[in-house]
C-alpha cells in the first residue's frame, strides 16, 4: 500500500506541472477519498473494464491509465500547460468516490458529483476546471442529465475521452486484440 501510494504520488509529480496542484491531489487521495479507493477493482462486475483494471489496486491502475491518456490527448485538444496539468490531476482523482462514501460493493451512480463536491470543498474552489472535469467525466452517462449532448470544456473533454479509452476492453485484451495481433 505504501509502495503503491508512493508510486501514484511520483506519477502525480511527473505529470502535473504545478506543485500546489500536486499537493492537493496527494491530500485528496491520501486523506479525503475513502481508503478503499487504493485497493478496489475498477469494476465490481468485471464487465466494463480491461483485465489490468480488475483485482487488488485495479481502480488505481485505471486512474493512472486515465491520467496517462490525458497526457497524450492534450495534443489532440490543444491544451495549454496549465490545462494539461488540470486534466492529469482530474484523471487521477475522478473515481475517488466510485464506491460511494462509505464505500460499497457496487458503483455509486453519483460518484463523479460526490468527488467533484469533495474536491471543491477540500481545495476551496481553487481549481474549478479540475472540479468540472471530475463532474463531467461521465459525459453522456451523467445520472443527472443522461444523454445530454456534449458541450464540455477542452479539459473536461480530455478527461472524459481518456476515461473512455482507458475503460475499453478491446485494445487491451479479448477477441479483438488477439485478432489484431494475428493480422
Residues that bind Fe ion in the complex, under the rule CB under 5 A: 95, 163
Q: Which three cell numbers stand for residue 57?
A: 489496486
Residue 131 or 163 with smaller CB distance to Fe ion: 163
CA 130 to chain CA mean position, Å: 11
CA 23 to chain CA mean position, Å: 17
Residue 95 or 142 with smaller CB distance to Fe ion: 95
Provide the minimum distance between the beta carbon of 11 and Fe ion in the complex, in angstroms, as a whole number.
16
Provide the minimum distance between the beta carbon of 158 and Fe ion in the complex, in angstroms, as a whole number.
13
Q: Which three cell numbers stand for residue 41?
A: 477493482
SS3 81: helix
Residue 140 or 179 with smaller CB distance to Fe ion: 140
Provide the minimum distance between the beta carbon of 72 and Fe ion in the complex, in angstroms, as a whole number.
16
Burial of 93-112, coded b for 16+ CB within 10 Å and e otherwise, reads bbbbbbbbbebeeebbebbb
Cβ-closest residue to Fe ion? Answer: 163
Residue 132 or 163 with smaller CB distance to Fe ion: 163
Rounded Cα–Cα distance for residues 166 and 21 (Å): 23
Residue 79 or 90 with smaller CB distance to Fe ion: 90
Provide the minimum distance between the beta carbon of 182 and Fe ion in the complex, in angstroms, as a whole number.
30
Provide the minimum distance between the beta carbon of 59 and Fe ion in the complex, in angstroms, as a whole number.
8
Instruction: Write the CA distances from 85 to 25, 63, 181, integer angstroms.
Output: 11, 15, 34
Which DSSP letter does residue 150 get?
A: P
How open is the CA angle 147-151-156, to the nearest 5 degrees? Answer: 100
Amino acid at each position: 500500500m505504501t509502495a503503491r501510494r508512493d508510486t501514484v504520488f511520483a506519477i502525480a509529480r511527473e505529470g502535473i506541472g504545478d506543485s500546489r496542484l500536486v499537493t492537493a491531489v496527494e491530500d485528496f487521495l491520501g486523506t479525503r477519498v475513502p481508503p478503499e479507493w487504493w485497493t478496489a477493482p475498477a469494476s465490481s462486475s468485471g464487465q466494463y473494464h480491461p483485465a489490468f483494471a480488475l483485482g487488488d489496486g485495479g481502480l488505481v491502475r485505471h486512474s493512472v491509465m486515465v491520467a496517462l491518456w490525458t497526457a497524450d490527448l492534450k495534443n489532440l485538444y490543444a491544451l495549454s500547460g496549465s490545462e494539461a496539468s488540470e486534466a492529469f490531476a482530474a484523471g487521477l482523482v475522478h473515481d475517488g468516490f466510485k464506491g460511494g462514501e462509505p464505500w460499497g460493493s457496487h458503483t455509486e451512480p453519483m460518484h463523479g458529483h460526490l468527488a467533484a463536491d469533495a474536491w471543491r470543498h477540500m481545495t476551496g474552489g481553487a481549481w474549478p476546471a479540475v472540479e468540472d472535469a471530475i463532474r463531467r467525466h461521465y459525459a453522456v452517462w451523467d445520472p443527472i442529465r443522461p444523454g445530454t449532448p456534449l458541450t464540455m470544456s477542452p479539459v473536461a473533454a480530455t478527461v472524459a475521452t481518456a476515461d473512455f479509452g482507458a475503460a475499453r476492453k478491446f485494445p487491451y485484451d479479448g477477441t479483438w486484440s488477439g485478432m489484431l495481433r494475428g493480422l
